[in-house]
């Protein structure tokens, strides 16, 4: 079994999926259950917190809770300009 992330209507969901072989021996997958939405504060967060409480583990606050990723195109633009600046030797002008 494994966790599969699916998307529907702009929302992301976690599903518990089982791999098996059918009567012809071909590999197949079937969804056992949908665990819930993956958004912050969604069903998956509640499930994880409940499982931690059941095991006697206090849910830990992570320093990465507020971590957000930027669109790669924005980072790519900055990187490309930085490399162009360096390649043209403009960074040497600032130190002279």
Distance CA 29, CA 91 (A): 54
Residue ranges per domain, the chain? 1-59
Helices of type H across 34-71: 43-54
pLDDT at residue 28 in the model: 94
Q: In terms of residues, how long is the chain?
A: 96
- The residue among 50 and 73 whose pLDDT is bigger is 50
What is the reported pLDDT for 30? 93
Give the pLDDT of residue 21: 94
30-67 pLDDT, tens per residue? 999 988 888 877 788 888 888 888 888 876 666 666 77
Instruction: Return all residues near 85 (Cβ < 8 A) that are at least 6 apart.
Output: 91
Q: What is the pLDDT of residue 79?
A: 76
Mean pLDDT of the chain: 82
Looking at per-residue confidence, does 24 or 53 come out higher? 24
pLDDT value of residue 27: 94
pLDDT at 84: 85
Inter-CA distances, 3 with 10, 19, 37, 80, Å: 19, 11, 13, 36
């Amino acid at each position: 079994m494994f966790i599969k992330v699916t998307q529907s209507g702009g929302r992301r969901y976690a599903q518990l999926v089982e791999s098996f072989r059918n009567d012809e021996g071909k590999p197949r997958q079937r969804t056992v259950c949908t665990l819930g939405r993956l958004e912050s504060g969604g069903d998956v967060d509640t499930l994880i917190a409940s499982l931690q409480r059941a095991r006697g583990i206090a849910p830990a606050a992570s320093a990465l809770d507020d971590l957000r990723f930027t669109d790669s195109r924005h980072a790519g633009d900055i990187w490309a300009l930085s490399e162009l600046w360096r390649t043209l030797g403009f960074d040497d002008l600032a130190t002279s």
